[in-house]
Structure 1
């Protein structure tokens, strides 16, 4: 009984404290600047915008590894937009200035006759010799060899090539939209495939004979997308039923030198549009027999990449994603019989995120590595392609984010993941390696923070830069074998930003709509905030389900902070329905893009206002571009009780008008009534609050008509709104002009103030005749 009394007492105290906080917020006077204060705020924001560009920051070091694979150089950023070159020898654990920058500038000036600033040397290429006492550089379009002992500079020829790009992914992701080119010569070099009037022909090069393999192809329904088996005995391809992709149109109104608008069009598949389909077939070159493969036509994406059984070229493997993204298969085809079997057959009640499906084939051992969210988080599995048996490699309540590489010899996978380390932001990226058997998982980046890695070409060393949104980056050189730090390269500091008067962003966490899940975001406050005033809140939103968006690496200054300087508290949040958390967290978006995580966002801002008493959540604005443009308008349509003003740029206001591949992934296929029910255009009559629409007339990402149709619906509903169409602009937030108009809009509608008048200056009268 005593314990219950204590709990009740605590509950009463919490309720009392919450009520006190609300009362305290209500007691604060709303910040409503007068014209002079508004002008000062604009000036301060402009000064900070300029100052921060001159402060030293090294968020990401790009090493240029040399031929010895043990040394590299990098550019170190300095204050005032200057830089210098650093040289590192990993074997010796040595870091130094790459050369005497003043003497290099003098040597190049003498050789070229051009002026060179020692603190802003523009070397487009730079290579060291083995002893690091001579460099070969390219400046402009000229090459020079410079002896670092004497600084003698001699012209030379371009005889050096880039050695290694450490920022290039070792294994680039394969897009299923990529078309497979028709095979030419057979692997044995004896035959050559060609297509004629829709049919398949093979030329025997030695005999100079042509053999026709198909006879029912036509130009309207041709054969194509063929691949040779490695033993040159079989051709695998498709009977194709082409579908032309429809076009969307836009008009360029203001092309210089013209007096008429220019009509433009581009191919643009929208949800529900038909796609070219592919019926798989095989041809036996010895018998000329055509075999129809017993499998469904591929009516989504193009012809898939083939993977041949190394021990028996009678069999090949391909992948099939069903339209609607609820089924993914890895299919093996027997090209003699035409029979198929499913090695993997994954089905989902919601969606399978196609772009995050990872497959890596190991034909020598009849295995493959595959990623799936079937256990609730994205993890890796080792699959026996002969039996279809699956063995988990990674597991746990965390997410495999990227696969860096696969070491077949050591049977190891190198990958990036988030959410493993307790007590830190679950979005922080860390790097690991693990055996195919799921054992010996090694954390290569144990330090707290968000990590960016790059490796030497032989993978003996790696650079690790880690930071947090308000913690400056540290860059270290590590040895791969034992993950030990060899050398600290750079250790950033926030002092320059703080001295300039920058208010660093702050991390805030609160519970989601389920009362359990943490929702993460950041808060940007004015650097000159009056603690006795209450400031409107503006949310920067992008709720696209393809990723998460709140910044995690060092971000001392951004557009959000620049806007905050005008008298706002600006926030960014990742709500439910975005990626990089559990499958359940992500599934909220399924056929439900209008949700946009608003329930979590509103709870987050209410919780934030209890901690930050200067946050006035009776005056909340929101802005975003593209999917964020859809979301920000949706805030006023579906949550007008909370959001009062919105700026929406290039929004996909109806998911039927937007691109097919993105919208069917989240809204499903076929196109059902939920598309219309969630459309901003359909719901335009619900508008409350103040809305500014921005669109570029030349947007090829989201058709401009999406915004124009919304404007049309708002006009027909007799709604007031502001509209800015930027001539010649593509997919953008409006550029410099649009961003200024966005700020002015929020100043009028949330601060109830007037921005500086820009049309008062009278232009000088021309005296020309």
Structure 2
């Protein structure tokens, strides 16, 4: 048995390598990102509007990097929203990092302090920077809510935001003392206890306190804490000390008890409390904070049942505490929690705009809150993607949708408006591309930013009726094209059901010769939470996905054809298409992917499906390993990064969404640990030692199972590496090089010989 670990670089570099007769080929591929990332001009991000709605701003590519532009919507006059040079100095001083004016470490900002400052996010931290005085400070943790691990277990080591909540009439303030709710007159220190049953094991959460509009009542959640599971990681080579260090993280996993929230209503003047009957929300996975209707008649919250098969809008009478289900959404598989949408119509919310997949497609409905009856607003074999605006007075809404145009790419987003009764459906975007539209607050105008993988980004200003006012930006890729870039090729074939179109992209070597045979690499991400084949233009290195695409082209230039595919089980298509993933994560759309590969090979003789490799990260890492466990007749080599190889080891939120609760046999069926003995082909596992997204022990448990099964594989553990290890390129792209070399050895070196398990060169 041979396990190639970090120190085994010599074996990796030993001849013979296919492209190794020209080592410069590997160097060129590894430097491609740096060579190409600043070659585009005027590629604009979607616009963001100022609060007053008179101006909007966006970032765009310029010579040497990118710049922010702010435009007056009425005159189209342009200006820089801030001095980038001064801001770079201020950020560098505050963060102890070096930043350049054209390479600021954020792609969006919000105005603050009456436009005298901006707020930005840098490496998941919030910063506020003055743009008059040009000084930056990190957001005060006291201004932030107590963290919740994956949304469902509060981190009780972090203090809650317990600032006094002032009543709307300004007379009272409410807070929590010793785990109980108290109120006091504003300006007084004399607290009046509204509850006495709060304890550390069942406390009142100040962050859920909500006053009624008439200041006579309070609602708050009493919380029974969930299981405090702590993941402990050893950092072997910390930068600030010689000895290893321990790192801990609150990390709930599938099956763990979550925080249980119980709404309690208080009538303040009478000192009377009402515990809301929980018969309609008996097994909560997650509940939104309670929110009063504007008329004060009721308050409401969203409820997601554990296992994700039911979602409800619970409405509670603000006087009696009687609860009812204003809307109930049931599914035989799953209700996708992150794609729910609710809008309360009017002050009394007697109607609710709701999204449902009950007819097999994601559509908008208008619910009668009194009866729960639903009237369908949109309908057809297409999906609503996002609700952009609801106008209660006009009884009209604006939304994005995809799949409406027969024969066109079903993932392209277009924007429409429609009346509550389903009448007057109007298209606002026409270009055959995917669109990101940002409306002014008053809906009088909007900025439409659209592109395709073969169409550089165009940004336009339109009137509300769709009339073009001005073209703001039109991407220039002439220098990128001159450097050798060519757009990826879309390809479509039928899936396993014989009817569903499966869409993918093809990236070929820049010196592609159709008379040659090329091994294939598939870049896989098959998480059911979205679709992943890019649809918009890829300005290399600037937007999410830029590094990924550079990696595809860089590998193609080594002598591969590199592809990416959305198989069944991913989102943004029909409910039946999506449901393939339910309790079936080992599937990863592989039956559709293999059909796609075979269809392309039948059309293109250069596409050699006798030599197919696959690589992916996170859920894509799980899929890459599963390709060799469950489909080894087709896939011959895999690089798997930071995979959630056993879904019982991964975070609670993602895994219970797709495999349900309680934990059952479907978790084991997809497990790379339980199925390790099935491994065939060549495998490289890569993991960051300090992965805070997927417990890195998941990788090591696969390693343990492979050793016990006497299977050969390669392993790279990156000390201090996080979840994104290998997917963000540093000065020396070591991990990326290891992946490239692995595929060169396994798929290019001996194209006419069997790929056995012998790892020797």
TM category (shorter chain) comes to: 0.7 to 0.9
Deviates more, 1:227-236 or 1:60-69: 60-69
C-alpha separation in 2, matches of 1:475 and 1:223: 49
CA contact (8 A) 1:469 1:554 kept: yes
The residue aligned with 1:742 is 739
Deviates more, 1:318-327 or 1:685-694: 318-327
The residue aligned with 2:640 is 648
The residue aligned with 1:454 is 438
The residue aligned with 1:248 is 231
The counterpart of 1:227, out of the listed 192, 207, 210, is: 210
Once the two structures are superposed, what CA deviation does each residue of 1:533-559 show, in whole Å capped at 9, x if it has no partner?
211001000011111000001137621
The residue aligned with 1:202 is 183
Once the two structures are superposed, what CA deviation does each residue of 1:244-283 show, in whole Å capped at 9, x if it has no partner?
4210011111113533210111000000001121233322
The counterpart of 1:389, out of the listed 368, 373, 377, is: 373
Aligned-residue CA RMSD in angstroms?
3.5
CA contact (8 A) 1:60 1:452 kept: no
The residue aligned with 1:421 is 405
Change (3 A) 1:444 1:690: same
Aligned residues: 663
C-alpha separation in 2, matches of 1:68 and 1:213: 41
Once the two structures are superposed, what CA deviation does each residue of 1:165-190 show, in whole Å capped at 9, x if it has no partner?
xxxxxxxxx99759896673332233
C-alpha separation in 2, matches of 1:688 and 1:199: 59
The residue aligned with 1:59 is 43
C-alpha separation in 2, matches of 1:396 and 1:236: 41
CA contact (8 A) 2:447 2:462 kept: yes
The residue aligned with 2:660 is 668
Correspondence 1:473 to 2:457: yes
1:77-92 equivalence runs, <5 A: 77-78=61-62, 81=64, 91=74
Once the two structures are superposed, what CA deviation does each residue of 1:500-557 show, in whole Å capped at 9, x if it has no partner?
2223210000000000000000001112123322110010000111110000011376
C-alpha separation in 2, matches of 1:45 and 1:121: 25
C-alpha separation in 2, matches of 1:198 and 1:192: 16
Change (3 A) 1:329 1:405: same
Change (3 A) 1:82 1:558: closer
Deviates more, 1:535-544 or 1:397-406: 397-406
The residue aligned with 2:127 is none
**Structure 1 position 640, deviation (Å):** 0.3
Change (3 A) 1:292 1:457: closer
CA contact (8 A) 2:396 2:420 kept: yes
User: What secondary structure, in the 3-state scheme, does the structure 1 residue paired with 2:174 have?
Assistant: strand
CA contact (8 A) 1:291 1:336 kept: no
User: What secondary structure, in the 3-state scheme, does the structure 2 residue paired with 1:533 have?
Assistant: coil
Change (3 A) 1:138 1:344: closer
Once the two structures are superposed, what CA deviation does each residue of 1:615-659 show, in whole Å capped at 9, x if it has no partner?
100000000000000000000000000000000010000000000
TM-score for both structures, normalised by structure 1: 0.79
Correspondence 1:373 to 2:354: no
C-alpha separation in 2, matches of 1:98 and 1:279: 51
C-alpha separation in 2, matches of 1:83 and 1:211: 56
The counterpart of 1:353, out of the listed 336, 343, 346, is: 336
**Structure 1 position 40, deviation (Å):** 4.7
The counterpart of 1:486, out of the listed 469, 476, 479, is: 469
1:395-434 equivalence runs, <5 A: 395-434=379-418
Change (3 A) 1:358 1:181: farther
C-alpha separation in 2, matches of 1:207 and 1:700: 45
The residue aligned with 2:290 is 306
**Structure 1 position 489, deviation (Å):** 3.1
1:250-289 equivalence runs, <5 A: 250-289=233-272
**Structure 1 position 575, deviation (Å):** 0.5
The residue aligned with 1:439 is 423
The residue aligned with 2:166 is 185
User: What secondary structure, in the 3-state scheme, does the structure 2 residue paired with 1:255 have?
Assistant: coil
Once the two structures are superposed, what CA deviation does each residue of 1:113-169 show, in whole Å capped at 9, x if it has no partner?
xxxxxx9879999xxxxxxxxxx9999xxxxxxxxxxxxxxxx992999xxxxxxxx
User: What secondary structure, in the 3-state scheme, does the structure 2 residue paired with 1:437 have?
Assistant: coil
C-alpha separation in 1, matches of 2:104 and 2:621: 41
TM-score for both structures, normalised by structure 2: 0.80
Change (3 A) 1:159 1:62: farther
CA contact (8 A) 1:55 1:496 kept: yes
CA contact (8 A) 2:180 2:198 kept: yes
**Structure 1 position 473, deviation (Å):** 2.6
The residue aligned with 1:550 is 533
C-alpha separation in 2, matches of 1:370 and 1:364: 17
The counterpart of 1:705, out of the listed 681, 697, 701, is: 697
Deviates more, 1:283-292 or 1:254-263: 283-292
CA contact (8 A) 1:630 1:648 kept: yes
C-alpha separation in 2, matches of 1:548 and 1:214: 48
Correspondence 1:524 to 2:507: yes
Deviates more, 1:263-272 or 1:460-469: 460-469
Change (3 A) 1:467 1:305: same
**Structure 1 position 46, deviation (Å):** 5.0
**Structure 1 position 676, deviation (Å):** 1.4
The residue aligned with 1:577 is 569
Deviates more, 1:329-338 or 1:729-738: 329-338
CA contact (8 A) 1:464 1:476 kept: yes
Correspondence 1:566 to 2:558: yes
Once the two structures are superposed, what CA deviation does each residue of 1:218-245 show, in whole Å capped at 9, x if it has no partner?
3332344432222222222344322342
User: What secondary structure, in the 3-state scheme, does the structure 2 residue paired with 1:240 have?
Assistant: strand
C-alpha separation in 1, matches of 2:240 and 2:209: 48
The residue aligned with 2:625 is 633
**Structure 1 position 320, deviation (Å):** 1.1
Deviates more, 1:491-500 or 1:57-66: 57-66
The residue aligned with 1:682 is 674
**Structure 1 position 681, deviation (Å):** 0.6
C-alpha separation in 2, matches of 1:82 and 1:185: 46
C-alpha separation in 2, matches of 1:331 and 1:649: 41
CA contact (8 A) 1:59 1:465 kept: no
Deviates more, 1:433-442 or 1:48-57: 48-57
CA contact (8 A) 1:48 1:500 kept: no
C-alpha separation in 2, matches of 1:413 and 1:685: 54
Q: Mind listing any 5+ residue stretches in structure 1 that lack a counterpart?
A: 1-31, 106-118, 126-135, 140-155, 162-173, 755-769
CA contact (8 A) 1:540 1:624 kept: yes
C-alpha separation in 2, matches of 1:138 and 1:311: 35
1:23-172 equivalence runs, <5 A: 34=18, 37-45=21-29, 48-61=32-45, 77-78=61-62, 81=64, 91=74, 158=132
CA contact (8 A) 2:598 2:609 kept: yes
CA contact (8 A) 1:325 1:668 kept: yes
Deviates more, 1:294-303 or 1:714-723: 294-303
**Structure 1 position 496, deviation (Å):** 3.6
For CA contacts below 8 A with separation 6 or more, give which structure has more relative contact order. 2
Correspondence 1:751 to 2:731: no
The residue aligned with 1:504 is 487
CA contact (8 A) 2:184 2:192 kept: yes
Greater Cα radius of gyration, structure 1 or 2: 1
User: What secondary structure, in the 3-state scheme, does the structure 2 residue paired with 1:195 have?
Assistant: strand
Change (3 A) 1:753 1:500: farther
Deviates more, 1:501-510 or 1:206-215: 206-215
The counterpart of 1:725, out of the listed 717, 724, 739, is: 717
**Structure 1 position 403, deviation (Å):** 1.5
Correspondence 1:339 to 2:313: no
User: What secondary structure, in the 3-state scheme, does the structure 2 residue paired with 1:600 have?
Assistant: helix
Change (3 A) 1:554 1:256: closer
Change (3 A) 1:377 1:386: same
C-alpha separation in 2, matches of 1:87 and 1:325: 43
Correspondence 1:590 to 2:589: no
